[in-house]
Amino acid sequence: DFLSAIDEVTPAFGVAKEELEQVVQNGIIHFDKVIDEILRSGQLFVDQVRVSTRTPLVSLLLHGPPGSGKTALAATIARASDYPFMKLVSPDDMVGFSESQKVAAISKVFADSYKSPLSVIVVDSLERLLDFTPIGPRFSNSVLQSLLVLFAKRPPKGRRLLVIATTSLRPVLTDLGLSESFDSEIRVPPVSSLRSLEAVLDEVDLVKNPRERQQTMQMLQQAGFGSDETGLNIGIKKLLSMIEMARQEPENVGERLVTSLMGL
């Protein structure tokens, strides 16, 4: 009754795909070649799960600073797999859940995936799923224990599963013993070079006038952006937000952006 199982999970498909699209609202800007490498690596894991018989379970961790684009990249890789079962597990859908409700929701998704021959699950923002706070520290041990088991539990015979998790607190995961659950880890970097920043500005058409554009870049260079000394860098998500704020004062866009960036 494999077919009936397929039937059963089908209704959830469309929804998941939409969800995976929604978290990439501003698209993927290829501001650095590392972005392409990340996407290609993801593709390789997608292929491995599809073909290898010895590794029916592969798990991958995308980690990087806040707003570096982890969720968008994980969702992009998952959506591109076009597996029959694709699902996003996100803290956004669990506000106010008790620990046991979270565990139930998460393990429901894994249990559902075991009914499909080929599945991908994006487990987004582990620190939020864990209710992690550095003070204490506090976290949900029952969510942690469930993830430790689910990330290591083989799907039943004939089923294959790719797990893509994201976090901006990788050192914490290591302390919690969760890091070593993953078969592989990929780092998602922030925008940290002048060239990358320029690529983003161009992509979003912030400064159209060529001279103004040049001035803006010079200001950024003088401010030390992208130099090793200042170590200035910024997640793509926050950068896009600053750009929009700057747009509020059309006559003064470049300067305002530089001020914001320097305020980091």
Ligand X SMILES: Nc1ncnc2c1ncn2[C@@H]1O[C@H](COP(=O)(O)OP(=O)(O)OP(=O)(O)O)[C@@H](O)[C@H]1O
Site residues (CB under 6 A) for ligand X?
A: 24-29, 31, 35, 66-73, 125, 152, 168, 235-237, 240
Helix axes 70-81, 33-51, angle to 10 degrees: 40
Stretch that binds its own copies, among 30-38, 46-54, 79-87, 208-216 (CB under 8 A): 46-54
Could you tell me which of 136, 154, 129, 132 has the C-alpha nearest to residue 58?
Answer: 154
Which residue among 7, 15, 82, 177 contacts its own copies (CB under 8 A)?
A: 177
Tokens of 127: 């620190």
Contact 216, 201 (CB under 8 A): yes
Supply 199's token pair: 């690529």
Which of Mg ion, its own copies, ligand X, none does residue 247 bind (CB under 5 to 8 Å by kind)? its own copies
Given Mg ion, ligand X, its own copies, none, residue 171, with its beta carbon under 5 to 8 Å by kind, binds none
Q: What span, in angstroms and rounded, lies between the C-alpha atoms of 38 and 185?
A: 10
Size of the site for Mg ion (CB under 5 A): 1
The dihedral built from the CA positions of residue 36, 41, 46 and 50, taken in this order, carries a sign that is: positive
Helical axes 141-150 vs 99-113, angle rounded to 10°: 10
Q: How far is the CB of 218 from its own copies (least distance, A)?
A: 25
Q: Which residues contact its own copies by CB under 8 A?
A: 22, 25-26, 44-45, 47-48, 52, 54-55, 58, 66, 91-92, 94-96, 98, 100, 103-104, 107, 128, 131, 133-135, 137-139, 141-142, 144-146, 148-150, 153-154, 157, 175-177, 180, 183-184, 204, 238, 240-241, 243-245, 247-249
